[in-house]
Copies of this chain bind each other. A is one copy, B any other.
Amino acid sequence: MKSKILVVDDEPKIVEVVRSYLEAEGYAVIEAFNGRDALSLFEREYPALVILDLMLPDIPGEEVCQRLRRTSRVPIIMLTAKAEEEYVVAGFDLGADDYVTKPFSPRQLMARVEALLRRTTAEAIPLSKLLSYNEGDLVIDCDRHEVRKTGQLVALTPIEYKLLLTFAKYPRKVFTRDELVTLVLGADYEGFDRTIDAHVKNLRQKIESDTKDPKYILTVHGIGYQFGGE
């Protein structure tokens, strides 16, 4: 389930546009057309993010922002026609996280919403579908389950692929053999941990240019292995 977002604007048309875009992205949208409703709705619904117009019929948007900030660190994007530099700076000073001026690009607004939520929900940074290392020397295509070495498709076994992805997900992290066993072979694996060595060997033969001097899967002597791709 995706996050709930509060959209506050006195122009119903704007709210409608923003709502449709947000819902297309899977967000739940709640709306307010004035400052008073915005504040009470915020109290009741705890949205994950607020998109706030500055020109509201009752309370000025600036004050709404300030009041929200008294009790909450909710991400706030100001969406307004006031484009002058002093307003922008003032908006940030009031505690806004972003400031978008009308007329605005809905797609760009969506991108900003996602960026802000990504930052605040503190989720792990999602891996992009296409991971590329050393200017395309090694490419992992997560969607297609494909790995290419200097453009050539290499056939990885299921375990090799999983091992590579585990490494790629946490570059530079040092994994002990036990960790790798748990992550790649499963928590209930009974066998012994040196099996990982064999898989590392096979994987290296497929993706390293020189197995004697590996660039991707590095040995951490006495501990385990580490992914060192750039």
Interface residues of A (CB under 8 A from B): 39, 63, 66-67, 69-71, 73, 75, 85, 88-89, 91-99, 105, 107-108, 110-112, 114-116, 118-120, 122-123, 125, 128, 132, 143-146, 157-158, 171-174, 220-223, 226, 230
A123, chain B: closest CB distance, angstroms: 6
Given A89-B111, A94-B128, 14 more contacts at CB 8 Å? Answer: A63-B132, A69-B125, A70-B171, A71-B171, A73-B119, A88-B105, A89-B108, A92-B112, A92-B115, A122-B125, A143-B172, A145-B220, A157-B222, A158-B223
A98, chain B: closest CB distance, angstroms: 7
Contact of A111 among B39, B69, B93, B158 (CB under 8 A): B93
13 A-B pairs in the complex with CB atoms less than 8 angstroms apart:
A70-B171, A73-B125, A85-B108, A92-B115, A93-B111, A93-B128, A98-B98, A98-B115, A119-B119, A119-B123, A144-B226, A145-B226, A158-B221
- Contact status B143-A114, CB under 8 Å: no
Contacts of A98 in B (CB 8 A): 98, 115
Contacts of A105 in B (CB 8 A): 85, 88
Contact of A158 among B96, B132, B222 (CB under 8 A): B222
- Contact status B88-A144, CB under 8 Å: no
Q: Which residue of B lies closest to A110 (CB)?
A: B89
CA of A110 to CA of B92 in the docked complex: distance in angstroms? Answer: 10
- Contact status A125-B172, CB under 8 Å: no
CA of A145 to CA of B226 in the docked complex: distance in angstroms? Answer: 10
Q: Which residue of B lies closest to A130 (CB)?
A: B66
CA of A158 to CA of B88 in the docked complex: distance in angstroms? Answer: 37
Q: Which residue of B lies closest to A141 (CB)?
A: B172
- Contact status B143-A173, CB under 8 Å: yes
CA of A75 to CA of B146 in the docked complex: distance in angstroms? Answer: 31
Contacts of A223 in B (CB 8 A): 145, 158
Contacts of A63 in B (CB 8 A): 132
Given A89-B111, A112-B92, A125-B122, are A157 and B221 neighbors across the interface (CB < 8 Å)? Answer: yes
